[in-house]
Amino acid sequence: MAAEIKAPAYRQFSIAPAIQPGSMADTKTFVANEKIQEAIGFPPALVDDWHDRAIAKMGELLSKYRSFKVYMDACVHCGACSDKCHYFIGTADPKNMPVARQDLMRSVYRRYFTIPGKLFPKLVGARDLTREVLDEWYNYFHQCSECRRCSVFCPYGIDTAEITMAAREILNSIGYGQKYSNEIIGKVHKIGNNLGLPGPALTDTLEGLEEDVKEATGIDVRFPIDVKGAEVLLITPSADFFAEPHIDSLIGYAKVFHAAGISWTLSSKASEAGNFGMFIGNYQQLREIAMRVREAALDLGVKRVVVGECGHAWRVAYSFWNTLTGVGSGAADPYAMQLQKQLDHRYKQPMHICEVTWDLIERKVIRLDKEANDKHIITYHDSCNVARGSGMGDVFGGQFDIPRNIIRAAANNYVEMAEGTTREQTFCCGGGGGLLTDDLLDLRVKGALPRMEALHNVTETHGVNFMATICAICKAQFTKVLPYYGFDRRTVGGVHQLVSNAIRLGDK
């Protein structure tokens, strides 16, 4: 870790920084050790024939994913993306410009997969895959949070996240994986969640929450687990059981179900919404992690599957669960079809907790006392995977409007951050995509700069003191980096934390 981590100064105008070549070249996230790699079926360490295997893997991905090949071919280096990445803005390292990050791979693609690159490499910017290039891949493809903001501005729609995923998939296939993501994936398989929270600890924590809520409200709000025949199975990030402010949103979900009279349960088998298989671009891991949800849904016989406040989990659930697992329609295997029969299709499957809550508010099934949140002047941070990788409700842009509608229904004071920093153009928190690790804290602090600038702006002009969001990574990242920018760590919290404060429980 760097000796002293400092937040960059706010820019006077939000312009591209003067470049500092190589400033982040030595930022290297911890490499997974043999034990971590082997636990999830990857080679334990860099294999001897890594060069040939990496090129072969790249060829395989190019033939499998048409999009990846188009992204390799289509870029015309127009530069529209260059100042759109929060990591470039915060670090000024030109290799953190999306186009430059893509070119780390594109140059190798040209050398091995195009005729001009094979014949005249120098003329077309083609490079051999050397050990130096490989290390550069490792370092800079772990300085991309796969947030896809750059793709919004690319005239060809090139998605750097997909290139980063491909790079990580290639690196893992030759035994050069990242400690943080791969250790977590191992824990999901072994223990059931990213945290490594075993069943008895989870039960103990949930019982404690029941006591706490009873003490605070006088009402018996339940936090059920493994209840067969419950209507709703709630899949939520394990951070919701463990960390602050996450746990306050979990209390909010429980209160919503209680107030609406919906029977619900958590699952000790699928005690994790997060799916880091997506971060490393590995389809098999993505599927195996998602499959736990289907198994839990079948075991418990639930009618609905609802996802808690987790950004990338909602992308996986919304966009991939259907064909991966049969939650939603699309998968054709017998268990998927059995699940389809079991689920209640009067409801969307899966459903986001915000969709559930907003529907109940609209139908006046639950009622909120806005005054309960009067101490807060609130703004909303759109999380990247929700904003750019999913939808909510039946209206285009529902993933932007529904969380905001809930906040406005739960509180009196709401302020938007500057245009160009929200909705589909939202800035990543700086910790997404498998980078929420202490060894990358310097990068995380720097990558948070544009969001912190936008937040600073509304704190100055409107006195904002609370930034709501619906992602466990965003919550953890901001809790850690806010103090570097002079904010209280408790400035960040969940949308259902606000719901929890305001919801009426007693008079039903």
Partner 1 sequence: MPQIEVNGKNYETDEEGYLINLAEWNMDVAKYIATTENLTMTDNHWEVINFLREYYDEYQIAPAVRVLTKAIGKKFGAEKGNSQYLYELFPYGPGKQACKVAGLPKPTGCI
Among 124, 201, 262, 415, binds partner 1 (CB under 8 A): 201
> Is residue 238 near partner 1 by the rule CB under 8 A?
yes
What the block records as the tokens of 213 is 């809520």
Contact by Cβ (8 Å): 166, 68: yes
Which stretch in 88-96, 101-109, 204-212, 284-292 sits in contact with partner 1 by CB under 8 A? Answer: 204-212
Contacts with partner 1 in 339-378 (CB under 8 A)? Answer: none
Give the separation between CA 173 and CA 137, rounded to whole angstroms.
Answer: 14
| 114/205 with CB nearer partner 1 | 205
Contacts with partner 1 in 147-186 (CB under 8 A)? Answer: 179-180, 183-184
| 89/290 with CB nearer partner 1 | 290
Among 193, 265, 267, 459, binds partner 1 (CB under 8 A): 193
Size of the site for partner 1 (CB under 8 A): 40
Contacts with partner 1 in 441-480 (CB under 8 A)? Answer: 472-473, 475-476, 479-480
Give the separation between CA 450 and CA 35, rounded to whole angstroms.
Answer: 38
Give the separation between CA 106 and CA 407, rounded to whole angstroms.
Answer: 43
Closest approach, Cβ 88 to partner 1, in A, equals 24
Strand, coil or helix: 266? strand
Of 264, 262, 240, nearest to 494 by C-alpha is: 240
Alpha-helix residue ranges (DSSP H) falling in 158-282:
160-173, 179-190, 199-217, 239-242, 246-260
Of 162, 167, 159, 107, nearest to 142 by C-alpha is: 167
| 56/201 with CB nearer partner 1 | 201
Contacts with partner 1 in 305-344 (CB under 8 A)? Answer: 310
Which stretch in 141-149, 151-159, 191-199, 363-371 sits in contact with partner 1 by CB under 8 A? Answer: 191-199
Taking CA 359 as the corner, what is the angle to CA 358 and CA 362, rounded to the nearest 5 degrees? 85
> Is residue 208 near partner 1 by the rule CB under 8 A?
yes
Give the separation between CA 396 and CA 11, rounded to whole angstroms.
Answer: 34
Q: Rounded to whole angstroms, what are the CA distances from 223 to 42, 64, 220, 273?
A: 37, 43, 10, 17
| 195/300 with CB nearer partner 1 | 195
Contacts with partner 1 in 262-301 (CB under 8 A)? Answer: 274
| 236/426 with CB nearer partner 1 | 236
SS3 of 14-48: CCCCCCCCCCCCCCCCCECCHHHHHHCCCCCCCCC
Closest approach, Cβ 474 to partner 1, in A, equals 9
| 90/308 with CB nearer partner 1 | 308
| 375/508 with CB nearer partner 1 | 375
| 165/251 with CB nearer partner 1 | 251
Q: Which residue has the tokens 């930022």?
A: 27
Q: Which residue has the tokens 């999901």?
A: 188
Phi first, then psi, for residue 111 (nearest 5°) are: -65, -40
| 134/197 with CB nearer partner 1 | 197
Among 244, 295, 416, 424, binds partner 1 (CB under 8 A): 244
* Tally: H helices and E strands in the chain: 24, 7
Closest approach, Cβ 441 to partner 1, in A, equals 10
> Is residue 386 near partner 1 by the rule CB under 8 A?
no
Phi first, then psi, for residue 235 (nearest 5°) are: -110, 115
Among 243, 262, 291, 298, binds partner 1 (CB under 8 A): 243
Give the separation between CA 16 and CA 80, rounded to whole angstroms.
Answer: 12
Contact by Cβ (8 Å): 482, 488: yes
In whole angstroms, how large is the CA radius of gyration of the chain?
23
Among 86, 95, 106, 246, binds partner 1 (CB under 8 A): 246
> Is residue 194 near partner 1 by the rule CB under 8 A?
yes
> Is residue 30 near partner 1 by the rule CB under 8 A?
yes
> Is residue 204 near partner 1 by the rule CB under 8 A?
yes
Among 41, 196, 224, 330, binds partner 1 (CB under 8 A): 196
Which stretch in 110-118, 374-382, 398-406, 434-442 sits in contact with partner 1 by CB under 8 A? Answer: 434-442
| b (16+ CB within 10 A) / e for 15-51 | eebebeeeebeebbbebbeeebbebbebbebeeeebb
Closest approach, Cβ 469 to partner 1, in A, equals 12
| 98/311 with CB nearer partner 1 | 311
Binding to partner 1 by CB under 8 A, coded x per residue (else -) over 120-149, reads: ------------------------------
Q: Which residues neighbour 351 within 8 Å (Cβ) at sequence distance 6 or greater? A: 304, 305, 306, 307
Residues near partner 1 (CB under 8 A) are: 30, 179-180, 183-184, 187, 193-198, 200-201, 204-205, 208-209, 212, 237-239, 241-244, 246-247, 274, 310, 436, 438-439, 472-473, 475-476, 479-480, 489
